[in-house]
Amino acid sequence: MAKKVVASLQKGEGRTYTKCIKMVKSDKTGAYAFQEEMVHNDKLKEFFAE
């Protein structure tokens, strides 16, 4: 319920950013790790293309 209240109070600049999570493979160990970043909505495709 708290999430709904917080989301309804959010206005303006906060909605122009998205939290993106991408799996990245380590060159040293070969294991996968997650890369998290707050990205502007205009730059989403560039973030995932890297």
Q: What are the CA-CA distances from residue 43 to residues 6, 46, 50 (Å)? A: 25, 5, 11
Domain ranges of the chain: 2-49
Q: What are the CA-CA distances from residue 25 to residues 2, 31, 38, 39 (Å)? A: 35, 6, 20, 20
pLDDT digits (tens, 9 = 90+) for 2-44: 555 555 656 666 678 889 999 999 899 999 999 999 999 899 8
pLDDT value of position 7? 59
